[in-house]
Structure 1
């Protein structure tokens, strides 16, 4: 199996780019993000700035992103029931090594586009890419940044070590282990991104609410299966995503992209644009339970 790229790879550049001062500077370097041949309804009237080549700016200004250090409690203390639960879930997750669920966790670890655009394709029953669904593609790329940035303050403060550092077992993305050792585990930025995407797509396609939220949950659980996050990291990541999603409701560009995504995803279903994933294999892998996870 090809080793897929994980959270530090596409977002290492984001971490370097996204100090408060540089976010403001990025706004001065706009680039177009409307694929050739896309319809006006699926386009934004203003170009989207890039934080780094290939990484679009989020919707929110730096001072509008919820502060994880103010909102998330510290990670579980030594001897606490919460830490015991973290270790119980870790042991259950380690038992899934070598199973299709572990392989799915590796696929879920890849946040690079265009691959990441298809994370929820099987759930929605349509292919998502820059040419066929440009507004949805843009929505996923930009909301990724807002979700990731919402976890950053607490990550930097607590610098929590990841499960594989403690247990010595491999992860589902061994090429990323060196970078992950220096990247705080709490809260999970990867989980925040996946839960954000589930919420955003639920807003665009409310008829698929239960399936989308279930896929967002399994996407987050993949981080425990991958041996790179504790359960409490996952829960805090979901919390920060929910808060950031609520804040996005006040952003006009975000609302416009959700509306455009809703229209184009409906059209994609009508046109029979099937997912470019092995949906049967994904469903079988995700049906393997991770005991003890909340």
Structure 2
């Protein structure tokens, strides 16, 4: 069985490095040029495909002030219009469910390799790595300040915060449908004597990983906004995903297969005119030029 050209379940740091390097070589605009497909272990192919009442004439000075204020607010309002609270359009959840590969079965070789990897990575985890995993567990787009520096924060980039929160809410329905369908127990729940919750314990299911799906999708979109940091974004996304394995919340297969889901979602969004328009509006508002580490 293979995933993105490498053997499963040969999980290792080398494999994760290859994922990052392969993705970094992919041109940032490739998904918008053509559909991408991914081969998963099951052999499945994912085709990443308010009126002011009229007043008497004596109110004209006030009306003039209002009109001037409106003119000043046009750019901001224009961008706000582009960031409507509803999510962007993706294929229906049933499509994701039909195409997405099944998780390993309890006790099969893939599952046993997952368990062994989780035990091994926790055995050598340092206090610094555990602290970093707990930081990454509180994931949002500004977790990528690890790449862009401390000035990349919500106070300086409020529109970016809103955009990526909307993106997260777009990702959640298919991700949650898959989790609720497959119902793979989290490692620390099913193996409490062998795998410990080293981060804040979460309920819910393990496959696919929400953090890994969010972070990889975010990294791909950030790379559209700032292509010069593409490799660093993907590296950080991979680290965020693997921190979930160290924390006992996910298996490495949950994390790795989530990358395929993220690529699929990204490809679909990049073919959506509304998403492209919103992305360009965000680029003009807060990413021209992109933020940089001091």
Q: Does 1:253 align with 2:253?
A: no
Given that residues 199 and 247 in structure 2 are in contact (C-alpha distance below 8 angstroms), is that contact kept between their aligned partners in structure 1?
A: yes
C-alpha deviation, 1:39, in angstroms: 5.7
For residues 229 and 108 of structure 1, what CA distance do their matches in structure 2 show? 14
Which residue matches 2:219? 198
* Pairing 1:109–2:109 present: no
Q: CA offsets, 1:166-217, max 9 Å, x none?
A: 332432334x44xx1xx12111122111111111101111111111111111
1:89 and 2:113 aligned: no
Shift of 1:131: 4.1
1:128 aligns with 2:152: yes
1:154-173 mapped onto 2 (5 Å cutoff)? 154-168=178-192, 169-173=195-199
1:44 aligns with 2:44: no
TM-score, scaled to structure 1: 0.66
Task: Mark the CA change 1:224 to 1:157 in structure 2 (over 3 Å): closer, same or farther.
Answer: same
What are the ranges of 5 or more consecutive residues in structure 2 without an aligned counterpart? 1-72
Output the TM-score relative to the length of structure 2: 0.66
Q: 1:234 to 1:269 in 2, by over 3 A?
A: closer
Give the Å deviation of 1:96.
Answer: 4.2
Superposed CA RMSD in Å reads: 2.7
Structure 2 CA distance for aligned equivalents of residues 38 and 124 of structure 1: 30
Q: Which runs of 5+ in 1 are unaligned?
A: 1-36, 50-56, 275-294
Shift of 1:133: 1.9
The higher radius of gyration belongs to 2
Report the number of matched residues.
219
Q: Tell me if the contact between 2:88 and 2:170 (Cα under 8 Å) persists in the aligned partners.
A: yes
1:211–1:268 Cα change, 3 Å:
closer
Q: 1:118 to 1:246 in 2, by over 3 A?
A: same
Contact kept, 8 Å, 1:68 with 1:152, in 2: the verdict is no
